[in-house]
Amino acid sequence: MVNKMNKKILLICAIVLFLDQISKSIVAAFMKVGSTIVVIKKFFNVTYINNNGAAWSILSNKNTFLIIFSIIAIIIIYRFMYLFKNNKRNNIAFGLILGGIIGNLIDRWLFGYVRDFLDFKIFGYNYPIFNIADTAVVIGVFLLIIAIIKGEDKVGKDSSK
């Protein structure tokens, strides 16, 4: 097992964390909770909300549980990193996931909620409002699913290109 985290993963994690926290801070500084700015009519708005739960507001007002869950998730992801092949896609995936989890963990720790603001309506469905951290986690998980399908989830496993 590698003793220190890959620098590429750390860099991606830091970039995600920076973009997440700066975007949340800008929205919080210039908008009131519940307010909306229409960016693309009937498709994309910036709507500032404070989410006391997880995705789709599940586990609302369970902040302590969500903080503990996030810390455990970070530990599990850290351990999984060394089981996957060290390649560009996997480095990006783990950097995105860690940056996203840490970004929302910071919000939960400091404020007791997560600041969300990306508001999409897709084919008439008003998708739950989310943030950069959420996006990073979803993309990272998607990339890991591709890695598993391609057989890049085990260090010693052969994979076809």
Known catalytic residues?
A: 116, 134
CA separation for the pair 19, 98 (Å, rounded): 13
Please choose, from the candidates 140, 117, 136, the residue with its C-alpha nearest in 3D space to the C-alpha of residue 127: 117
What's phi and psi for 121, nearest 5 deg? -115, 115
For the chain, counts of helices (H) and of strands (E): 4, 4
Q: DSSP readout, 62-97?
A: -HHHHHHHHHHHHHHHHHHHTTS--SHHHHHHHHHH
